[in-house]
Chains A and B, each alone.
Chain A
């Protein structure tokens, strides 16, 4: 069993990171206040870890033990949970996350996470001043936009490269057509089997007469 000191350190670091980030997004803090007292349990399968995120006023608290009521429980890999919370097209079943408890809290959290808009310029301005902070902020926004666009397209681009360029797998359309043919063949075989069985029964009855 892990020493509770290490786990407490991890929880404290995560809690500090979340709340420091929230300090620079007043709109999200205000929305969180409406969820005061609610708790979300995350049961991660990869890496294996369970923790509970509780909302206390405008703060998010990370707990290892939570003896209060759990509003919603999510179970899945860390990547799947992040996708579920950040990707508007993601559904729990689609990304492999199981949900129990209130789905209203999940919907609200998804909405909050998608609208999250942390003003990174503010902490930089406190250290470097307004003008350099704006320049750095612009550069960071540019890099972040480029990363978001390219990382969003990356899975599609990778799939195209594997099938179209390197010919390691068949193209999607060809594969889907093959699957359809296979399904038709399977149905036709089942029908044929049923007919053969019927004929067998018929011949068996004639033989008996």
Chain B
């Protein structure tokens, strides 16, 4: 197959490149460098400095940095660099001890609790809650009272006390990952429990574990220093970072310099751990994370068709005229030069596969382009006023002039309020009537969308409705402002087929009653045939064909329309393969200059490499194909 998208190839990093990924990040390199330097220097402390940490030289007290004492000396003339490095040994050891205990308990218990569930889960979460409730500092002080000066015992205890946080987080993540279908597939494949945990669950948790471990290590550094500061760590003459800060604080009036060598390494280490944790997480998922869509490689030339058919005068009788609409998201055009008209009482279908720009077009009309998108060219005329011109025109039209129904009805309804209250609010907003009148009208609206017992439905919250009822309620909400145009984006895709039939029937009868126009976005030819008068077929951000529905179905004049109609299993011949269109829709940013369908088209020739304008081969029909004459002939000879 050639449909493996070439555009994504460049994003593939080499495997096992965690280290390389880290080395590309400046923060990671700096943090790693500092931690490495610190570890080496403390381990090889006797080689770095000639002075012992306990060597006193009462002739040079609080000297500040000198040739003999690079970082100066303390009140007893002991070398600060030496004390810092030897003290660092106990800090690093403490971090290692606490983090190992933290991870050993946290990861094992979190995984077991989340994956195995049942009684074990209950036992682990309850124990974790109990440990959570204990005052950590008090426990550590008690441990140090029982084992005076024993930092190892304190740090192991601290690891235990810290672990419930990790257990909780990992348990929640495991519960989520466990329900992923690939875990079910692995079970069906016959993998054992340890294999599934190792191959599928743990790798998804790594980034969390790394970040949590780094944060915890940073906390351990400060706690350990705090204990040293209070004199609860190593007994008096032995060096420790906390002890250094304590010494420095006592001579702060005489020698403020000493605070610098005492405090700075502490701060830098804590910051380095945090930065490193984030960097490792980013680098670890980099290999498999979805490629970030690349910005447009070059500014696209204006479409040569802009001066052609598409700029013809909009239909003066049209309710809505979209003229040359172009929408860009993140600088990449996703919809280009789209034009169509809708008259009152008409239903226009917009058909195409995902990624063709159907939804973006409808959102563009309402000025609701997602993300960093913007309308970069074109106009949307609604009852004569240009919606792209000013936000105030748009605000006046939204809801009362144009209403919107989405695929997912639950998104349209606020879960915290009853259906009736939401409807009444919309009614009051659009008509300006009183609360009581709005309530009555809300129940009327629910009755109009054929909900049985509308008063009872009005009193319910959205989660108490079935999918079909929720979609009816969402349609009622859309009708609250008595719109002239209803934009319905895949309104029945998430529903069962019997419910779909009811909703389509409802839309049709509402249209007959109110005379509103409907713009229906769908990928289902059956829905188009059922509801629409005319249809616009979109491919890769462009309109490729526009026609009356009867003509479109019987005589498609674009190879994409023809292919998509043929691929529908409705028309399938039993026992024979379905006619297919090879390949997939090219993503925005990978569109060719010429015909965008050419790579998948059986009719494609060299002529298709040049940009193809929309032509009007027959009255009220447009198509974007250089081979249209051939298609017209084939159609009439059929």
The reply to whether chain A is a binding partner of chain B is no
Interface residues of B, Cβ cutoff 8 Å to A: none
- Seen from chain A, the residues whose Cβ lies within 8 Å of a Cβ on chain B are none
